[in-house]
Amino acid sequence: MRNILSAILIAFCLYSCTSDSDSPKTGDIYGVVTVKSTAEPMKATGVELYTDDKLLLKTVTYDDGHYEFNELIPGEYTLKVVAEGYDDATYEVEVEKGRTARADMQLSKKAPVISGKVTSKNSAAPIKNAGVALYSSGWSDKLEVQTVTSDSGYYEIDKQLLPGDYKLSVVAEGYVEFTQTVKIETGKPVKADIQLEKVETGMTVSMSEVTLSSDKESALVKGKYTSSYGLNEAGFIYAQSVDLLSNGNRITGTFGGNKDFSATIRNLKKGIYYIQAYVKNRYGTELSEVAQLEITGDPVVTTLVATNVSATTATLNGKIEYPGDPVYTEKGFVYSSSFPNPTVDDSESATTKVAVSGTSKEFSANIADLTENATYNVRTYIVWGNEVIYGESLNFKPTSEKDYYILESASLMVQKVDLSSGADWQTASNLCKSSTLGGYTDWRLPTRGELQEIYDNQNIIGQLSGWYWSKDYHVGSYYYYYYLNMSTGEFYSCTANSNSFKVRAVRSIGN
């Protein structure tokens, strides 16, 4: 009995000693940083930790806005968040041994330094997507910041600037470039409403004829024009969605003898086409009314590039070009890593079928459990009566590596490789618009402000040297497009066809 009591006493002593030595002596801090007005998470935002007014640690928030500091000595700390365009935020927090202190913070947007509305002087209508740029005054006119107007014509610049005089520049297609000097004073927001004058091109244009060929694979299109100052170019823009006309396919016309011009659009598919004539001279561009061409017959479905591709997931995309008459009864995707042209009749072990409900022309499906670095082939399909009709087969490879760099400071995605080592402006623009890298179809040339951001971050992005085109221009005797020297950061301008420069595509994110 005495031995048993002794063993219990020894075990109790050992437990007491062990539990005391193993008890946690530090604590943690966890929190989420959000925008006060929208509750959206603030990602890649710096968070600093101070003790006794001395900086102790730094971290940045994750994509969901959360941050954390671990293994801290118990005591009182001060958290500080500083983000451009937002008021600084501080938070006092006490860390206790063995516990996690919660410290969520909300940031309030600063009042814009400069704001205003851009409208047409001729009609007072708001002008959307106008480029607004601010330059520091001086011989070099260094670009400080650039933005674009909203659908209501509103813009704001919230970058904190040193007091002084700056040059405000506004450009919009079809309008005369506007510049004015603005004076920035500490604590005094500037209101700058701007009216742009339309460029008088002296031209009119109209569609006069659309004739479909007997094989329904091409169409002859004709247009008519008037011009007081001559023409540099005439042609047609066409797309299978009226919303896509601004970025549609372009074909240059051949001039006739009675102020008319024509062209043949080839390789047409079944469905509806929207066609618009255009004319250009040194003063601008004019567009005609939109004509419509419908090609009927069997249904047509197109396989689009897969998007959101990661190591194990992807989004499949397709489009109904023409629903058929009668309309198809089922649509979806088939994908396989075994067959180059998967079908709905393949075995389930080799090919996966994903049916998609709804009647929308464009459709998608999210898929998972993919094998990283395996090559998958995917086709769209539609069931039409007793037939199954397929789109073309495209392939994608699940991977965690990306062919683009995300520039958080500009909400911009930048391709890692040039699309061309030398092209004129129009070719450069077309190369960007036709790029499908990463499964995205909205690549474009960068604005002046975005190109400046790329220059400022070229050491991170890499593989940048020489001269690069911008999408922005100013109007003089002709359209002069801006380009940047990636070695010096200086901007110049020239006409669209007078030089060949490098091409780097970008797309906006988070909008």
pTM above 0.75, yes or no: no
User: What amino acid occupies position 211?
Assistant: T
Tell me the C-alpha to C-alpha distance, in Å, between residue 292 and each of 97, 254, 268, 295. Answer: 72, 21, 13, 10
What does the buried/exposed string (b/e) look like for 392-420 if buried means 16 or more CB atoms within 10 Å of the residue's CB? ebbebbbeeeeebbebeebebbbbeebbb
Question: What are the pLDDT digits (tens) for 195-221?
Answer: 999 888 899 999 999 999 987 889 999
Cis peptide before 326 (omega within 30 of 0): yes
Residues 6+ apart with CB under 8 A from 183: 164, 165, 166, 190
Question: What are the pLDDT digits (tens) for 376-420?
Answer: 999 999 999 999 999 999 999 998 888 889 888 788 999 999 999
Average pLDDT on 289-302 reads 89
CB 111 within 8 A of CB 86: no
Residue 428, SS3 per DSSP: helix
Question: What are the pLDDT digits (tens) for 108-132?
Answer: 887 778 999 999 998 889 998 888 9
**Percentage of the chain lying above the pLDDT 90 cut:** 57
Tally Cβ neighbours within 10 Å of residue 133: 23
How far is the C-alpha of 91 from the C-alpha of 82, rounded, in Å? 12
Let me know the angle formed at the C-alpha of 183 by 181 and 189, rounded to the nearest 5 degrees: 120
CB 270 within 8 A of CB 322: yes
CB 145 within 8 A of CB 159: yes
- Token representation of residue 172: 């919009």
Residue 71, SS3 per DSSP: strand
Tally Cβ neighbours within 10 Å of residue 201: 20
Among 147-161, 374-388, 461-475, the range with the most confident prediction by mean pLDDT is 374-388
Residues 6+ apart with CB under 8 A from 408: 43, 44
What band does 431 get if pLDDT is binned at 50, 70 and 90?
very high
What does the buried/exposed string (b/e) look like for 202-240 if buried means 16 or more CB atoms within 10 Å of the residue's CB? ebebebbebebeeeeeebebbbbbebeeebeebbbbbbb
How far is the C-alpha of 469 from the C-alpha of 428, rounded, in Å? 8
The reported pLDDT for the residue numbered 395 is 92
How far is the C-alpha of 489 from the C-alpha of 495, rounded, in Å? 20
CB 107 within 8 A of CB 33: yes
How far is the C-alpha of 338 from the C-alpha of 353, rounded, in Å? 14
Average pLDDT, the chain: 88
The reported pLDDT for the residue numbered 147 is 87
